[in-house]
Amino acid sequence: MPNTPGIWKKEHVEAWKPIVDGVHNNGGMFFCQLWHSGRVSNTSYQPDGRSPISSTDKPISAQLFIGGSGGEDVQYLPPHRLTTDEISQVVNDFRIAARNAIEASFDGVEIHGANGYLIDQFMKDQVNDRTDRYGDILENRCRFPLEIVEAISNEIGSQRVGMRLSSFADYNESGDSDPHSLGIFMDESLSRLGIAYCHVIEPRMVTQFQKGETRNTLVSMRKAFAGTFIVAGGYHDRDEANRVVENGDADLVAFGRAFLANPDLPRRFRLKARLNKYDRSTFYTDDPIVGYSDYPFLDY
């Protein structure tokens, strides 16, 4: 994918080190999110013009601009369906990336198993049409993500591992017919592997741009997971987040849009100060400043 930073070679490790040091020097903790776009890509972004990889050879039907908030449409072509041997190679790629993250002094890694990217493409039955040991039944569809979690945990320690899930969502045409069972199975499995946290997108966030009303909740997933349970999706308000934690529905609430637009969000919450409004049109641009580091801090 264009404009996506990596951590798969030595140069990436060295480039990340001063950034990680800057976070630590300011009292922060820093986890590196590891992800693979899978079929949410195009041959023009792949080595030697090869096809993107996935659990399937079915392409995404919608044609959207991949690179961000502007530009020409890019066609999603049929991906390459990974063989079992190739799946093992990808698992090892994640393991190496996790090792590199620790070498760069990250405190841990978050495995991105959400939003319709590669790992999600294996878990969701709307996408995964395999008939081998990585497809069909729920346990098989979850085999690939759990192999990644286990490989990374063995490499850097499970206490340094988190995972992001979006069982109820249909991001990038990756939906599932039984998201409750999928979510519970994954959280029970992740608990047995002893990872530090699970970071789950609320069911109300059907897509990244669409917040809807639903009776679905994350309560069953929260009960199935023994570690720290983080919820995200559609949170803009301090009081709403506090109620979720006070009710026992989550240990932590993650803020995305609000944090992007408010680099001092914790301070604003403490002071109950006004929040900057975010500009959605700049969310996915490759500009290093506009929409990324140009939102103002509080002036008092």
Name the band, by pLDDT with cuts 50, 70 and 90, for residue 6: confident
Per-residue pLDDT tens digits for 206-252: 655 566 667 788 999 999 999 999 999 988 889 999 999 999 999 99
pLDDT attached to residue 207: 58
pLDDT value, residue 64? 62
pTM of the model: 0.93
pLDDT band at 72 (very low <50, low <70, confident <90, very high): low
Q: What is the pLDDT of residues 193-210, one digit of tens each?
A: 999 999 999 998 765 556
- pLDDT band of residue 2 (cuts 50, 70, 90) is low
**Model confidence at 15: pLDDT above 90:** yes
Tens digits of per-residue pLDDT, 142-176? 999 999 999 999 999 999 999 999 999 999 999 99
What pLDDT shows up at residue 291? 92
Catalytic center residues? 117
Q: Cα(5)–Cα(62) distance, rounded to whole angstroms?
A: 25
| pLDDT greater than 50 at residue 21 | yes
pLDDT at residue 208, rounded to an integer: 58
Q: Which two tokens stand for residue 117?
A: 């990217």
Q: How confident is the model at residue 285 (pLDDT cuts 50, 70, 90)?
A: confident
Decide if pLDDT at 287 tops 90.
no
